[in-house]
């Protein structure tokens, strides 16, 4: 089974970025209000993530890193599904299979924290009480040490951009949680936002601080019959796009693809992306650069395809065309209200 596990794990965790995404989602599910990441060699050497969430109680250590074990499925109901879709208890077991994993965790109830190490099959190999605050620290060393093909195929340079991008996106979608990302080699802070920093501030950190005047709130009316529970977000106005075009400013990490979250999961939706960009561009000359778009959608959980493979971010939902059309209508309305004269 060791080989089977390793192969399966290699499909779920295909780069440090997958690993980081899964860990951030776990911290958010654990109701953390502070998430601090540290990386070395772009996550290949070390990924550390400290949160102040619920912590993990000692009794759960033996099953924590076993495949298909999740604490989230037992308390499965519609309300939770809407908050946490995509859980299948595979992330930690996969990470464990292809790295050296250690955790330090403490729940509110327990008097001390515990440090616990796992072998590549998810068995506990050591466990000891130590001092610590409520919350969980994951330490992942030597990711892919036993999957040489992954190590070779990854261009380490791109990975850093993607990591910063990913952390920023979760920060944007999670007002009320502080996020930091630090690089061990030079102690450089790569992303940092306080618990109380606004969504717009978080966006400015990702894209370009000089565009602060141009962020617009976006909202689309709910349509429960279609399954659209809510849709909110932020877009840039038209003049922003043109200014960007004029002085060739682009955001520092090349993030110009729209950011979509569905039920709090970072996803891709090609159809929605195409429709929004074409609606937006219909207000602009062809040469204009892409806008910044961030949308957070809540779709009735039973309408979302939750069985998508964890590495495939593409999500499908029922009544997709109608919902996308509604969202584009709202975008049109917002853009029509803009002072287009400034753009040309």
Interacting residue ranges for ligand ADP, rule: CB under 6 A: 22, 26-27, 30, 51, 53-54, 56, 64, 70-72, 87-92, 136
Round to whole Å and give the CA distance between 229 and 112. Answer: 41
Phi, psi at 166, each rounded to 5°: -65, -45
R_g (Cα) of the chain, nearest Å: 21
Q: Cβ of residue 124: shortest distance to Mg ion, in angstroms? A: 19
Q: Please tell me whether residue 234 adopts helix, strand or coil conformation.
A: strand
Identify what 27 binds: ligand ADP, Mg ion, none; CB under 5 to 8 Å per kind: ligand ADP
Judged by beta carbon, residue 26 or residue 174, the one nearer Mg ion is 26
Q: Cβ of residue 43: shortest distance to ligand ADP, in angstroms? A: 17
Q: Cβ of residue 3: shortest distance to Mg ion, in angstroms? A: 24
Judged by beta carbon, residue 28 or residue 272, the one nearer ligand ADP is 28
Q: Cβ of residue 174: shortest distance to ligand ADP, in angstroms? A: 14
Residue 66's contacts (CB-CB under 8 Å, 6 or more residues apart) are: 93, 122
Judged by beta carbon, residue 71 or residue 303, the one nearer ligand ADP is 71
Judged by beta carbon, residue 163 or residue 244, the one nearer ligand ADP is 163
* Residue 37: strand pairing partners: 49, 181
Q: What is the secondary structure of 255-297 as a DSSP string?
A: --SPEEEETTEEEB-HHHHHHHHHHHHTTS-TTPPPPPEEEEE
Identify what 56 binds: Mg ion, ligand ADP, none; CB under 5 to 8 Å per kind: ligand ADP
Binding site for Mg ion (CB under 5 A): 26, 91
Identify what 66 binds: Mg ion, ligand ADP, none; CB under 5 to 8 Å per kind: none
* CA within 13 Å, CB half, 290: 18
Phi, psi at 58, each rounded to 5°: -50, -40
Round to whole Å and give the CA distance between 255 and 165. Answer: 7
Q: Cβ of residue 121: shortest distance to ligand ADP, in angstroms? A: 14
Round to whole Å and give the CA distance between 281 and 268. Answer: 20
Judged by beta carbon, residue 59 or residue 186, the one nearer ligand ADP is 59
Judged by beta carbon, residue 96 or residue 299, the one nearer ligand ADP is 96
Identify what 51 binds: ligand ADP, Mg ion, none; CB under 5 to 8 Å per kind: ligand ADP
Stated length of the chain: 344
Q: Cβ of residue 56: shortest distance to ligand ADP, in angstroms? A: 5
Identify what 72 binds: ligand ADP, Mg ion, none; CB under 5 to 8 Å per kind: ligand ADP
Q: Please tell me whether residue 209 adopts helix, strand or coil conformation.
A: helix
């Amino acid at each position: 089974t060791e080989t089977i596990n390793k192969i399966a794990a290699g499909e779920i965790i295909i780069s440090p970025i997958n690993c980081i995404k899964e860990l951030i989602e776990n911290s958010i599910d654990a109701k953390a209000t502070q998430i601090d990441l540290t990386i070395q060699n772009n996550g290949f050497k070390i990924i550390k993530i400290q949160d102040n969430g619920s912590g993990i109680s000692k009794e759960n250590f033996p099953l924590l890193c076993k495949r298909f074990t999740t604490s989230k499925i037992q308390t499965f109901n519609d309300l939770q599904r809407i908050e946490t879709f995509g859980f299948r208890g595979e992330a930690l077991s996969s990470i464990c299979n292809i790295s050296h994993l250690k955790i330090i965790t403490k729940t509110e109830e327990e008097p001390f924290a515990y440090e616990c190490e796992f072998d590549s099959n998810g068995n506990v190999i050591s466990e000891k009480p130590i001092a610590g605050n409520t919350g969980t620290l994951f330490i992942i060393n030597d990711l892919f040490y036993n999957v040489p093909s992954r190590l070779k195929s990854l261009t380490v340079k791109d990975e850093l951009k993607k990591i910063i991008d990913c952390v920023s996106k979760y920060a944007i979608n999670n007002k009320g949680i502080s996020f930091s990302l630090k690089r061990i080699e030079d102690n450089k802070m790569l992303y940092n936002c306080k618990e109380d920093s606004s969504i717009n501030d978080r966006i400015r950190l990702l894209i370009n601080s000089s565009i602060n005047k141009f962020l617009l709130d976006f909202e689309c009316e709910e349509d429960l019959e279609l399954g659209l529970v809510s849709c909110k977000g932020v877009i840039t106005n038209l003049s922003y796009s043109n200014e960007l075009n004029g002085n060739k400013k682009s955001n520092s990490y090349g993030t110009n693809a729209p950011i979509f979250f569905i039920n709090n999961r970072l996803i891709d939706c090609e159809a929605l992306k195409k429709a929004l960009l074409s609606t937006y561009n219909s207000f602009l000359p062809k040469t204009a650069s892409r806008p910044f778009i961030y949308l957070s959608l809540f779709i009735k959980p039973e309408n979302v395809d939750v069985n998508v493979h964890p590495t495939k971010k593409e999500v499908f939902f029922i009544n997709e065309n109608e919902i996308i059309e509604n969202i584009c209508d709202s975008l049109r309305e917002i853009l029509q209200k803009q002072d287009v004269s400034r753009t040309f």
